[in-house]
Amino acid sequence: MQLNDQYIDRKWVVGGIFAVFILIFIIRLFFIQVADNKYSMSADSNSQRHMIQYPARGLVYDRNGILLVHNQAAYDLMVIPRQVLPFDTLLLAELLDIDVKLIRDRIYKAKIYSRYKPSIFLKQISVSRYARFQEHMFKFPGFYIQSRTLRDYPRPMAAHLLGYVGEVNDDMVKKNPYYSSGDYIGISGIEKSYEEVLRGAKGNKIFLVDVHNRIKGEFMNGALDKQAVQGLDLTTTLDAELQEYGEKLMAFKSGSIVAIEPQTGEILALVSSPTYDPKMLVGRKRSKNYSILQKDELKPLFNRALTAQYPPGSIFKIVNGLIGLQEEVINLETHFECDKSLVGCHNHPPNNGIIKAIQYSCNPYFNQVYRRVVQQGTDKNRFVDSRYGVKRWVELCQSFGLGQTLPIDVPNLSSGSIPGLKYYDKKYGKNQWAFSTIASNAIGQGEVMIVPLQMANLAAIFANSGYYIVPHIVKKIGENPTSKDEYTQRRYTGIDHKWFVPVKEAMYAVVNEAGGTARLARNDSIVICGKTGTVQNPHGEDHSVFIAFAPRENPQIALVVYVENTGFGGTWAAPIASLIIEKYLHRVVSAKSVEEKEKRIIEYTPLKK
């Protein structure tokens, strides 16, 4: 049955309209794509080059505005495999002073990474090569120069603290979208902890590049460009001159110096010896030098000041003494005989109280104090009783910032260790240990471990009579003072202010009175208070340690000097500390001190080969 349809012919009109428009489109396409090469020419000159604008990394200054870290220009030769046309490999090899095989390898590698994205073809070419290459660049489509900045150190020092910058690894690229392969990132020290502040923000500039590898202009007049944001400068708390001096004194010795301004927690100097020149870990030579440093048996890469956990030795007697006073298991007059049957001691005048005991560093005395702390008589069973005592002791030790990782602004700080119930239960079994088992903690020789930074912090606590501010290394970010609560608020120990008075008295006596163990630290013009330690070292010679603060009234500096394998604490650590104090407070070391102390210390070079 046929529909009676008077409009049936209109199907031709509709079909015709369809056909006409499609035909118009095809003709138009023919003109755009085949007849007129205007568009394909534009496409050629339209190849985009995304140039990453690396912002200059923030500079680093010391507390007095001395420049410690700045930037130097570096040039990377980049390649985008997709844009590479056949080129004169011999010329490129000659210009860059590399062999042809390397060129092929690198291009192959780049292709595997991405055909569209740029990869680094040759890292950090010299300025002169850069200039020569620039002249010939038009012969090498697909190649271009990317400028970056590398670190430079006008006064090489504090390598561990400043840290270094290196290429970001693949893990990080995956984890953090900000980074792309080949970017630099802070790997250690404050370069790492302040990475986000220092790096600023990368910018992106898009250029149009023609087939001859020439930049034709900005893409869309720069509308899509992103300006790089400069990294912020850091003002550290470091005193460059003090740091340099400390490194000089510690040369060819193994150990550390950590100096803190007690009222603020600002780290004035942080020396870890042996150290290395931070310039070694910059640029192309970094990986080579790094492996050299890593293989060095003196472990120059190891930051002793933050990560070496040492038994504290006699300096820990002060902590135990304070805990005894606080727990009221002793008072200022409490007298214990120097009973060498309990623990060995050197010959010294008799103690008549804690001040003298600290001054003479009497081992049996503190053995007795610690016994009273641990076994306070809370329970008749001495095992159970020890648990109460040790628990309390651990709490108070922790209030000194011991046995915990302080939230400082440099990475990789160790916590040290204050052994508690858990530790001893595991080691000996529950109720299988009592005071006698752990007695060596009394004189800082047991399982107590402290890192030098914590020792310096102890000195600061003594100087402040009972509180500390978490040590930190950065004072100002850009123009803004660091305002983190941690670095401004006082943390009080669990010890009454009043108990620090006799401790300071004793520390004064250690340095300044006859019979004190650190007479070598004495300085005529500065009242130094301190405490020596000699740490028995089963692997070799004793470690020499000295903590101090000065001046006695209104202390400006608190510090620790830890010298490994050098014997008695008063011999090396004390005079070094004294020189550091003098340098900091007077800015110059007197001729007398140079003669009496510095010369001897500098001449002492146990590590020199």
Partner 1 sequence: MNRNQGILHQIDWITVGLYFLLVILGWLNIYAAVFNEDHRYIFDVSQRYGMQLIWIVAALMLIVVIFSIDSRFFSAFPYPMYLLMILTLIFVLIFGRVVNGSKSWIEIGMFRLQPAEFAKLATALTLAKFASVYNFKLNQFRNLLIVSAIIGIPAVLILLQNDTGSTLVFATFSLVLYREGLPGWILVMGVVLILLFVLALLLGLNALTVIIFVSAWVYLLAHTRNLKISGWILLPSGIAYLGMYLAIWFLNLKLSLAVQLVAPWFLSFPIYLVMAYKNNIKRIYGVVAAITFSLMFIFSVDYVFHNILIKHQRDRINNLLGIEFDPLGAGYNVNQSMIAIGSGGAVGKGFLQGTQTKYNFVPEQSTDFIFCTVGEEWGFVGSALVLLLFLGLLFRIIFLAERQKSKFTRIYGYGVAAIFFFHILVNVGMTIGLAPVIGIPLPFFSYGGSSLWAFTILLFILVRLDVSRDQQLN
Binding residues vs Zn ion (CB under 5 A): 338, 345, 362
Out of 3, 135, 429, 524, point to the residue binding partner 1 (CB under 8 A).
3
Name which of partner 1, Zn ion, none residue 40 binds, using a CB cut-off of 5 to 8 Å depending on partner kind: partner 1
Q: Is 22 in the site for partner 1 (CB under 8 A)?
A: yes
Shortest CB 79 distance to partner 1, Å: 16
Shortest CB 355 distance to Zn ion, Å: 14
Stretch that binds partner 1, among 11-19, 90-98, 318-326, 389-397 (CB under 8 A): 11-19
Binders in 383-422 for partner 1, by CB under 8 A: none
Q: Torsions phi, psi of 16, nearest 5?
A: -65, -45
Structure tokens at 390: 């040790």
Distance between CA atoms of 375 and 383, rounded to whole angstroms? 9
Structure tokens at 40: 């394909």
Stretch that binds partner 1, among 42-50, 152-160, 295-303, 395-403 (CB under 8 A): 42-50
| SS3 call for 421 | helix
Q: Is 46 in the site for partner 1 (CB under 8 A)?
A: yes
Distance between CA atoms of 453 and 577, rounded to whole angstroms? 14
Residues with Cβ within 8 Å of 523's Cβ and at least 6 positions away in sequence, in order, are 550, 578, 581, 582, 593
| SS3 call for 347 | coil
Closest to partner 1 by CB, 225 or 598: 225
Out of 95, 107, 116, 381, point to the residue binding partner 1 (CB under 8 A).
116
Name which of Zn ion, partner 1, none residue 25 binds, using a CB cut-off of 5 to 8 Å depending on partner kind: partner 1
CB contact at 8 A, 423 and 449: no
Name which of partner 1, Zn ion, none residue 30 binds, using a CB cut-off of 5 to 8 Å depending on partner kind: partner 1
Closest to Zn ion by CB, 150 or 345: 345
Shortest CB 325 distance to Zn ion, Å: 19
Structure tokens at 103: 């060129």
Closest to Zn ion by CB, 369 or 601: 369
Extended beta strands in 403-502, E state: 467-468, 474-477, 480-481, 491-492
Stretch that binds partner 1, among 2-10, 120-128, 183-191, 256-264 (CB under 8 A): 2-10
Kindly write down the DSSP assignment for every residue of 215-251, as one continuous string.
Answer: EEEEGGGGTT-B--BPPPPEEES--HHHHHHHHHHTT
* Complete edge-to-edge strand list for the sheet that includes strand 47-53: 47-53, 203-209, 215-218
Neighbours of 5 (CB within 10 A): 9
CB contact at 8 A, 236 and 160: no
Closest to Zn ion by CB, 221 or 341: 341
CB contact at 8 A, 207 and 218: yes
Q: Is 85 in the site for partner 1 (CB under 8 A)?
A: no
Binders in 151-210 for partner 1, by CB under 8 A: none
Q: Is 211 in the site for partner 1 (CB under 8 A)?
A: no
Q: Is 17 in the site for partner 1 (CB under 8 A)?
A: yes
Neighbours of 7 (CB within 10 A): 7
Q: Is 602 in the site for partner 1 (CB under 8 A)?
A: no
Closest to partner 1 by CB, 83 or 445: 83
Distance between CA atoms of 168 and 145, rounded to whole angstroms? 20
Out of 70, 106, 109, 117, point to the residue binding partner 1 (CB under 8 A).
117
Structure tokens at 457: 């912090």
Name which of Zn ion, partner 1, none residue 36 binds, using a CB cut-off of 5 to 8 Å depending on partner kind: partner 1
Count, residues near partner 1 per rule CB under 8 A: 44
How far apart, in Å, are the Cα atoms of 281 and each of 38, 71, 165, 292, 466?
A: 51, 14, 8, 11, 41
Shortest CB 116 distance to partner 1, Å: 6
Closest to partner 1 by CB, 24 or 292: 24
Name which of Zn ion, partner 1, none residue 345 binds, using a CB cut-off of 5 to 8 Å depending on partner kind: Zn ion
Shortest CB 54 distance to partner 1, Å: 20
Distance between CA atoms of 533 and 545, rounded to whole angstroms? 5
Q: Torsions phi, psi of 410, nearest 5?
A: -125, 140
How far apart, in Å, are the Cα atoms of 420 and each of 51, 309, 369, 376?
A: 57, 17, 18, 16
How far apart, in Å, are the Cα atoms of 46 and each of 83, 209, 307, 344?
A: 12, 6, 55, 85
Closest to Zn ion by CB, 361 or 493: 361
CB contact at 8 A, 417 and 449: yes
Q: Is 32 in the site for partner 1 (CB under 8 A)?
A: yes
Distance between CA atoms of 113 and 79, rounded to whole angstroms? 11
Out of 43, 90, 100, 602, point to the residue binding partner 1 (CB under 8 A).
43
Closest to partner 1 by CB, 50 or 476: 50
Shortest CB 423 distance to partner 1, Å: 48
Neighbours of 479 (CB within 10 A): 8
Q: Is 111 in the site for partner 1 (CB under 8 A)?
A: no
Q: Is 26 in the site for partner 1 (CB under 8 A)?
A: yes
Name which of Zn ion, partner 1, none residue 338 binds, using a CB cut-off of 5 to 8 Å depending on partner kind: Zn ion
The binding site for partner 1 (CB under 8 A) comprises 1, 3, 6-8, 10-11, 13-15, 17-19, 21-22, 24-26, 28-30, 32-34, 36-40, 42-44, 46-48, 50, 82, 114-117, 220-221, 223
